[in-house]
Structure 1
Amino acid sequence: MSVDGMSAIVFGGASGLGEAAARRLAADGAQVVVADLAAERAEAVAGEIGGRAVATDVTDPAAVEAAVAAAHAADGGLRIAVVSAGLGTPAKLVGRDGATPLDAFARVIEVNLLGTINALRVAAAAMAGNEPDARGERGLLVATASIAAYEGQVGQVAYAASKGGVVGLTLPIARELAPRGIRLVTIAPGLFDTPLLAGLPQAARDSLAGTVPFPARLGEPEEYASLVAYAAANQMLNGTVIRLDGALRMAPR
């Protein structure tokens, strides 16, 4: 699928991996809707890339429907949807005072897993009404998991479970949507230089970077964005999860 001239939406597009994806898609010629709960930052990013911002909570069906409608209103309809909104709030199963309150896990799973399903279902429904292109394609969905889905660390109970859910939904959704000419590719990043890590002391950042076999550094959001662009270009990528981690396998802590 050629990105040029296509309508795209990036959930979580106001910062980090999502922002990089929004900027790359716009640079490749797409009309991009930046859908993010951080409305002011979304407006800033959209203004810089010539796109449109829509304040969006991925757990809110009405908000997601409004964001998708804004992207689908473009000529040709919505063709590319990237879901990178998420939370990484840590919580152990058992804390100093006993069992950790269930709410500490519920919100992470609600945003990361149910929010992803919410965004994918609405975007896919819009794409299903598109006219297929010359190769029979109506749209591309890109979900974001994490290598924590495979090697979750201590304190990542909800995060690893939520990202494992995103990994698990990839194939069944791709199989379901295949007759409609809609693909789903999931990216599972390792350690990336995003706002989540930006607040750490430099020594801690260097230590994390040193755990990556090669290249021994934090991933750059633009590398995630380039994989989004490649997924659009390569039609055989479908129903798969791609680790983007420099061969990193996370230690227990």
Structure 2
Amino acid sequence: MVTGNSAAYLRGLPVKLRPELDIAVPRKYNPIAVPHVKTFRMTDTTNVTKEGLRFHHLGGILHVIARQEPVENLVAVLDALMGPWRRPAELTRTKLDQLVAAGPKTYGWPKLKQASALARENVASPQETRLRLALVRAGLPEPVVAHPVWIERFGVHIHPDLAYPFAKIAIEYEGRHHFELTEQVLKDTERYYELGRLGWTVIRVTALHKLDSVVLKVRECLEV
């Protein structure tokens, strides 16, 4: 059955595809001696079939990825599973904690536990994950993900990607579609205007920005 990085990639999670196909087999079996195949001998080989492929269960996939990826990449995967990134949320915080606690306490488990503690619900993209982690690494307070701000004129809450509500600072990560002449640009303009009327400072971030420069801007706005 497919597991690890290969399974995560096929499921649309934010990982870079590795050159080897990751396969899980029962621990009693020998590794598969085939070029470009990496075998993981597992005690729990519970699996599900999707589109004709057998996939390791989600907990098994995550425990294998924890052996392969650095903590930051693993956090991005967990954020994706708990957020609207390309899908409805697949996990809640409670379910993730249960999944991690139920897994084997073997190689990779401490890293998965560490990543789980850093993961947050409602994150909309892996870029937002990396930005949030960069701010925390720099010693700044952790920003709130998708904080609700009531806009009276719209009659709804809007949710900046990241926010410091106590300082009225909103951080918005903007992909390519935010700069095309579409309805999205109009929505962004109206959002930022309304936030400004309420006294919020909006820091806009793109893929062209260096994370260090964003950290500096946030530090200046927070005056810390």
TM-score, normalised by the number of residues in structure 1? 0.27
> Which TM-score applies when normalising by structure 2?
0.29
Relative contact order: is structure 1 or structure 2 higher (C-alpha 8 Å, sep ≥ 6)?
A: 1
| Higher Rg | 2
